[in-house]
Amino acid sequence: MKVILAGAGAFGLKHLDGIKNIDGVEVVSLVGRRLEPTQKVAQDYGIAHATTDLSEALKQPGVEAAILCTPTQMHAAQAIECMDAGKHVQIEIPLADSWQDADAVNKKQKQTGLVCMVGHTRRFNPSHQYIQNKITAGEISIQHMDVQTFFFRRKNMNAKGEARSWTDHLLWHHAAHTVDLFQYQTGEKVTQANIIEGPVHPELGIAMDMSIQLKTENGKLCTLTLSFNNDGPFGTFFRYICDNGTYIARYDDLFTGREEAIDVSKVDVSMNGIELQDREFFAAIAEDREPNASVGQVLACYETLHLLEQQLNAQE
């Protein structure tokens, strides 16, 4: 399967590293903002073609699919461009930074019937898969998820500490992970959502702190705290408070509520959530089926984010 990848930044490299472990897939073109560094990454990964033009990459011979790791603001338009070109597409999280754009991508997928998947990696991390498996088996039911997403980013930098050409967002990016995971793990739609945010950064133009409360139709709760002001430890930390036990997920590590380690190394074929996400994308294409984290499945997340954004606008 010949694929292209757009966005040779921190997350683009994570996908390239994951794809190296997947048989039968070849990245034939790499798209970047600046040609010279894009060519360097392409050379490092043995990719024959590099360009700054997505449409040029989509026209490479035999291309079936695209993976978009570009700035958030470009995701929706580029996803639609890929599907208009007849290519399956995986969009890194978030799908979009507005409900209108998210809905437009969903409508294009329905129109074309192509595989359109969003990079909601938490669905694929073995630690969270372990929880999902226990829920599916009827062993546990979530009562409350308490989640902390903490970074220290007072300058516009990416995950590698490099200068960014665009501005990240706590609501439309980082909250999207948890809002989707909460609805996915509970199997219920959010029916009540509340949000407050701290002061807007004078240079970045975004709120650096945020607090979100969610409630599902059957009363399951999620409390989410987000900050770009936290000086360590960094990351997202999930506490699953269930009717039959408590579980703490720290990236790929999982513990009981009493800090007893749980071995999740055999949950899937890899411990790399990005690789597992890519495996699902390629398998869905090969098997002509809807993938886990399809645009249709994650759309409820973006509907909730839109509701939260409307609340913030009303508070101004």
Determine the average pLDDT of the residues in 254-273: 97
**What pLDDT score was predicted for residue 78?**
98
Q: Other CB atoms closer than 10 Å to residue 104's CB: what's the count?
A: 16
pLDDT at 210 (0 to 100): 96
75-105 pLDDT tens trace: 999 999 999 999 999 999 999 999 999 999 9
Query: Which secondary-structure segment (H or E) carries 256?
Result: strand 253-256
The pLDDT value recorded for residue 162 is 66
CATH superfamily of 2-120+274-293: NAD(P)-binding Rossmann-like Domain (3.40.50.720)
123 three-class SS = helix
The secondary structure of 131-190, three-state, reads HHHHHHCCCCCEEEEEEEEECECCCCECCCCCECCCCCCHHHHHHHHHHHHHHHHHCCCE
CA angle (140 as vertex; 136, 141 as ends), nearest 5:
90
Q: What percent of the chain has pLDDT over 90?
A: 88
pTM of this prediction? Answer: 0.94
List pLDDT tens digits, range 238-258. Answer: 999 999 999 999 988 999 999
Q: 56-68 pLDDT, tens per residue? A: 999 999 999 999 9
Q: What letter represents residue 284's amino acid? A: A
State yes or no: pLDDT of 278 exceeds 80: yes
Handedness of CA 190, 208, 277, 296 (dihedral sign): positive
For residues 225 and 210, give the distance between their C-alpha atoms in angstroms, rounded to a whole number: 6
pLDDT tens, 160-189?
A: 666 655 457 899 999 999 999 999 999 999
Name the pLDDT band for 151 (thresholds 50, 70, 90). confident
Candidates 3.30.420.10, 3.30.360.10, 3.40.30.10, 3.40.50.2300; correct CATH number of 125-267? 3.30.360.10
Query: What is the band of 143 on the pLDDT scale with cuts at 50, 70, 90?
Result: very high
* Ranges of each domain in the chain: 2-120+274-293, 125-267
Residue type, 133: N
In terms of pLDDT, which residue wins out, 153 or 53?
A: 53
